[in-house]
A = this chain, B = another copy of it.
């Protein structure tokens, strides 16, 4: 939309009101009970305004999370790989807590069964995060913190997997000690076994 006109300012203020209403309603009653009607009423806009910009409540929540994302293009880099991995994983844990009313969990649940929303979720939220994660691991490979042979796709699955596993099975998010244990184990997994040195 063109910037600077009165109309575009009104549009931007409606858009922000819609996203704020979506987050409030989700936190109050959970994603499942969220409706476009309730969002419109809370935001003080017409339903048609919402449908002009978004095809579904999932698409609104996706934009909400996209705006709230604190992950930039640069990964955390304190020089301590385990600490930086803990920061990246903690962001996902916070986005998923509490499970019953976190907008992110609602979106993942809806996307599990909606291939189009799943594609958008992957492209807009997930792939940029995967790129940031791999950038940090490649830097660790450059500095020798991580083996140059480490398989970064395996690393991704092993580090983020437990969070989704625990979410799906209602096992509760890992506490700090369990998260640290997971990271320690995965870093060990990514280190080639010393008992098989390359043959000369």
Binding site for B on A (CB under 8 A): 30-32, 99-100, 105-106, 108-115, 118-119, 121-122, 126, 151, 153-154, 157-158, 160-171, 174, 178, 181-182, 185-186, 188-191, 193-195
**Beta-carbon nearest neighbor of A129 in chain B:** B169
Closest B residue to A193 using CB positions: B188
The 6 closest A-B pairs by CB, nearest first: A161-B161, A189-B189, A157-B162, A109-B112, A161-B165, A118-B170
**Contact B166 A165, beta carbon cutoff 8 Å:** no
Q: A165-B164, A189-B188 are in contact. Are A170 and B32 (CB under 8 A)?
A: no
Neighbouring B residues of A109 by C-beta, 8 Å: 109-110, 112-113
Docked-complex contact A122 and B194, CB < 8 angstroms:
no
* Identity of the chain B residue whose Cβ is nearest the Cβ of A188 in the assembled complex: B189
Which B residue sits closest to A153, measured CB to CB? B178
Residues of the B chain whose Cβ atoms lie less than 8 Å from the Cβ of A186: 158, 189
Sample of 23 A–B contacts (CB below 8 Å) = A100-B115, A106-B112, A106-B113, A108-B112, A108-B168, A109-B110, A111-B168, A111-B170, A119-B170, A151-B181, A154-B178, A154-B182, A157-B182, A158-B185, A161-B163, A161-B166, A164-B164, A164-B167, A164-B169, A165-B165, A186-B189, A188-B188, A188-B189
